[in-house]
Amino acid sequence: QVQLVESGGGLVQPGESLKLSCKFSGSIFRAYYMSWYRQAPGQRREPVAFISIADRTNYTDSVKGRFTISRDNPRSTVYLQINSLRPEDTAVYYCHAALAPVEFWGQGIQVTVSS
């Protein structure tokens, strides 16, 4: 069974940076499409960034130029580098792994941006 464990969240001030990590275990990491989602209070969960098995990436418009997703296959880890954080980036961030037709979610990690 695939397990995803996020780390790296916390409380930061506007303009600062964070790097989220998601450790994958239980299957062959390099075969999975990996994504980060986020869910702000009272909002629906939304996709933020995606990376394919060939390292192709895609981002939602609101984070382009500030967020960078990457993967390290030997370490079975996907990262989300978040720069120039804004209060509206405050959310629980979830790691997602997909290999059709199955998908898995991490437990989520809180990122709070506040002065």
The tens digit of pLDDT for each residue in 1-44 reads: 999 999 999 999 999 999 999 999 999 999 999 999 999 999 99
Give the whole-angstrom CA distance, residue 51 versus residue 33. Answer: 6
Structure tokens at 85: 């954080």
Structure tokens at 66: 């500030």
Residue 54: phi, psi to the nearest 5?
-100, 15
- Identify the pLDDT of residue 71: 98
- Identify the pLDDT of residue 16: 97
Q: Please name the amino acid found at residue 89.
A: D
